Amino acid sequence: MAAVEEPQDYLDVLQSHRGGFSFENCKRNAYLASQVAIKPPTAMKSGTTICGIQLKDVVILAADTRSTCGPMVADKNCEKLHFIAKNVYCAGAGTAADLQHTTEMMESQMELLRMATGTQPRVCTVVRRLSSMLFKYQGYVGCALVLGGVDVTGPHLFQIYPHGSTDKLPFTSMGSGSLAAMAILEAEYNENLSVEEGKKLVAKAIRAGIFNDLGSGSNVDVCVITKDVGGTILRNFEKPNERKFRAKHAAFPIGTTPIMKQEITKLVSVEEDVVMRD
């Protein structure tokens, strides 16, 4: 017969199934943080201004074109409007690599869904898949998205945060310049605007972000999404920071810097009339 195990004491059970936060590494972490040469990883602030508005049968997105790498401008004319499907586009703020791979993956999934079902993908499908994917990574995928599209149920505009939360709004802005852009949208948005008036409004909102946020700059890109045509990207719709002139640079005259020593070494010798034979 097998031996019958005696019931464990309640405190022993708690000790063997101990949960909660572990403080074992606190002393180690404090020591590492006290060392000058060792710095803990810190989050890097990203700079962008993106926005979108929903009208009666049109969704209009807009974004600036400045890409930053810390305090430096890495790209003055990058594209922040991403294709998801013919009728669904999004403007992205956050980490460039995360945005590119996330939107390309979603583009692939929506194309496979379209071919499998034979129907145009809905905006809510894209939002649900993006929200589930971002929530799974708990914010470590740095994607802040303003997603818009027009499907069989009409125009839709969503904002999606890196942790996976979503909002459905008539107008919205995200990024480091979102406060300046939102001030323009709240003051001048009207759902009865025409398409041309809507384009001018989102461009004005992005300009507010460009002129009031150091992380935003360069040009304004606009995307107009309609039911019949789908999405149309207007690249460099406005150029508020276009350079009007370039400073002339005159070469320094010979002798500006004194030459202390000059030496010319012949590294290669060329022999003429040499024929290679077997």
Q: What is the pLDDT of residues 79-130, one digit of tens each?
A: 999 999 999 999 999 999 999 999 999 999 999 999 999 999 999 999 999 9
Question: Can you tell me the mean pLDDT for 201-207?
Answer: 98
Judge whether 192 lies within some domain.
yes
Judge whether 5 lies within some domain.
no
Judge whether 178 lies within some domain.
yes
Judge whether 266 lies within some domain.
no
On the question of pLDDT at 254 being above 90, the answer is no
On the question of pLDDT at 276 being above 70, the answer is no
**Res 157: pLDDT:** 98
**Res 12: pLDDT:** 62
On the question of pLDDT at 23 being above 90, the answer is no
- Of the listed ranges 44-53, 107-116, 224-233, the least confidently predicted one is 44-53
Question: Can you tell me the mean pLDDT for 206-224?
Answer: 96
Judge whether 169 lies within some domain.
yes
Cα 256 from chain centroid (whole Å): 47
pTM attached to this predicted model: 0.76
pLDDT bucket at 197, cuts 50 / 70 / 90: very high
For residues 119 and 151, give the distance between their C-alpha atoms in angstroms, rounded to a whole number: 10
Judge whether 42 lies within some domain.
no
What total number of domains does the chain contain? 1
**Res 255: pLDDT:** 82
pLDDT bucket at 277, cuts 50 / 70 / 90: low
**Res 111: pLDDT:** 97
**Res 58: pLDDT:** 97
**Res 6: pLDDT:** 53
Domain that holds residue 99: 50-238
For the annotated catalytic residues, the residue numbers are: 48
pLDDT bucket at 179, cuts 50 / 70 / 90: very high
- Specify the higher pLDDT residue, 4 or 261: 261
pLDDT bucket at 33, cuts 50 / 70 / 90: confident
Judge whether 123 lies within some domain.
yes
Question: Can you tell me the mean pLDDT for 181-209?
Answer: 97
Q: What is the CATH number of the domain that holds 154?
A: 3.60.20.10
Mind listing the pLDDT tens digit for each residue in 158-177?
999 999 999 999 999 999 99
**Res 268: pLDDT:** 75
- Percentage of residues of the chain with pLDDT beyond 70: 85
Judge whether 149 lies within some domain.
yes
pLDDT bucket at 41, cuts 50 / 70 / 90: low
